[in-house]
């Protein structure tokens, strides 16, 4: 199959026309990818992965985990899906049997499989999904592959964090730090829940996009961002979301909280930070703050999110700012480190 491959860390992807097709085990499905978003996580993996949490990048690797497509083949034990079916795919593929899966938290499965690390990702024409019956989601006809791809990582991660983890409520003030794909998704989702969203970014064009997605106010990142948020919210945000996760957003997103505020971490730190960033721990005691983590989303929660897309309350399609051919994916990846790209770029041709 055709695939763009990382052969060396942080070097241009190498295009192959005869990369091995994924093999379909009895519980698996092979998917013909129709659309694949290029995510910041792809960039991090291209740069060497996350060795500080035990996920280094071993080359060669085929990136891509934010995708949707058509079932090409199913294994003999798969009963819920068939060849030709349109599917959405969360990026964290669970076992369905461990303690966390049994408890409904398949996104933090103890035997999780990830596209890219365990099998080729969506930078290849075909990809595999392990234990297809628990990890594929039927995609309604009314939602395009492009929109479904846009939901495969950043949007669904945001939905799980905002809805299930931080449990954001109508009328709450929510400050979103970082307006890349995941931050803009958080603006859209928290707005749909009835929250008052303040978007924070250093880039005017990203703030403009946040406004179009429903942000009631925007703040330019910088020294007085916290003061502006405290003033706008008359005492601080009920919830802050760190949608970048790196050093520049960690402190202001904690300092802008009101007493008993909740802080949701959606972003991951960079190679420079290595997963350790100092935070003002005493603030958590004196203000009774809560720190909440969130990772991906379980397939079982997709229908709730998709129903909000179908009814027009959520707008993943608005986050898509460009489509490219697989030949152009390497160039997109190389530009991501500057964090200047707006919205999401999706591969639609192989």
- Give least dist CB 67 to Zn ion, A: 10
Specify the pairing of strand 173-177 against strand 196-201.
parallel
User: Does 95 engage in binding with Zn ion (CB under 5 A)?
Assistant: yes
* Distance between CA atoms of residues 323 and 4, nearest Å: 16
| Secondary structure of residue 322 in the 3-state scheme | strand
User: Does 295 engage in binding with Zn ion (CB under 5 A)?
Assistant: no
Among 35, 146, 148, 153, binds Zn ion (CB under 5 A): 153
Among 6, 33, 109, 256, binds Zn ion (CB under 5 A): 109
User: Does 94 engage in binding with Zn ion (CB under 5 A)?
Assistant: yes
Length of the chain: 350
Question: What beta strand segments (E) does the chain contain?
Answer: 3-5, 14-16, 29-37, 49-50, 55-56, 66-74, 86-88, 126-129, 137-138, 173-177, 196-201, 217-220, 237-242, 257-265, 290-293, 320-325, 344-349
Task: Output the six-digit token pair for 142.
Answer: 């009314």
* Distance between CA atoms of residues 239 and 312, nearest Å: 25
Closest CB to Zn ion among residues 94, 345:
94
- Give least dist CB 61 to Zn ion, A: 14
Task: Output the six-digit token pair for 104.
Answer: 């409904």
Among 14, 47, 70, 98, binds Zn ion (CB under 5 A): 98
* Distance between CA atoms of residues 35 and 13, nearest Å: 18
Closest CB to Zn ion among residues 229, 320:
320
- Give least dist CB 224 to Zn ion, A: 32
Among 41, 158, 294, 330, binds Zn ion (CB under 5 A): 41
Number of residues that bind Zn ion (CB under 5 A): 8
Region from 109-117, 124-132, 160-168, 200-208 binding Zn ion, contact rule CB under 5 A: 109-117
Among 13, 101, 130, 190, binds Zn ion (CB under 5 A): 101
- For the chain, first and last CA: distance in Å? 9
Region from 127-135, 145-153, 314-322, 333-341 binding Zn ion, contact rule CB under 5 A: 145-153
Closest CB to Zn ion among residues 80, 97:
97
Among 39, 62, 257, 309, binds Zn ion (CB under 5 A): 39
B/e letters for 322-346, b = 16+ CB within 10 Å, e = fewer, are eebebebbbebbeebeebebbbbbb
Closest CB to Zn ion among residues 237, 314:
314
Residues that bind Zn ion (CB under 5 A): 39, 41, 94-95, 98, 101, 109, 153
């Amino acid at each position: 199959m055709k695939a763009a491959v990382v052969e060396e860390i942080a070097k241009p992807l190498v295009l192959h026309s005869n990369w091995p097709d994924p093999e379909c085990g009895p519980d698996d499905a092979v998917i013909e990818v129709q659309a694949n978003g290029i995510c910041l996580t792809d960039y991090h993996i291209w740069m060497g992965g996350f060795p500080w949490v035990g996920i280094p990048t071993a080359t060669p690797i085929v990136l891509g985990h934010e995708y949707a497509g058509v079932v090409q083949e199913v294994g003999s034990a798969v009963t819920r899906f068939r060849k030709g079916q349109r599917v959405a795919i969360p990026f964290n593929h669970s076992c369905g049997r461990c303690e966390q899966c049994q408890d409904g938290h398949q996104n933090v499965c103890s035997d999780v499989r990830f596209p890219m690390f365990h099998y080729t990702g969506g930078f290849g024409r075909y990809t595999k999904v392990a234990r297809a019956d628990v990890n594929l989601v039927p995609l309604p006809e009314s939602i395009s592959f492009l929109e479904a791809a846009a939901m495969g990582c950043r949007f669904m991660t945001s939905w799980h964090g905002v809805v299930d983890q931080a449990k954001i409520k109508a009328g709450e003030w929510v400050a979103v730090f970082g307006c890349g794909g995941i931050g803009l998704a958080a603006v859209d989702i928290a707005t749909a829940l009835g929250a008052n969203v303040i978007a924070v970014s250093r880039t005017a064009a990203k703030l403009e996009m946040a406004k179009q997605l429903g942000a009631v106010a925007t703040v330019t990142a910088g020294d007085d961002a916290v003061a502006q948020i405290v003033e706008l919210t008359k005492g601080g945000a009920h919830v802050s979301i760190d949608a970048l996760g790196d050093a520049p957003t960690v402190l202001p997103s904690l300092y802008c909280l009101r007493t008993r505020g909740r802080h949701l971490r959606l972003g991951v730190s960079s190679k420079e930070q290595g997963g350790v960033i100092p935070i003002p721990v005493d603030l958590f005691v004196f203000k009774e703050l809560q720190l909440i983590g969130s990772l991906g989303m379980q397939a079982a929660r997709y229908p709730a999110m998709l129903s909000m897309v179908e009814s027009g309350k959520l707008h993943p399609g608005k986050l898509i700012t460009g489509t490219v051919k697989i030949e152009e994916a390497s160039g997109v990846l190389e530009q991501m480190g500057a964090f200047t790209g707006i919205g999401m770029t999706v591969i639609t041709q192989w």
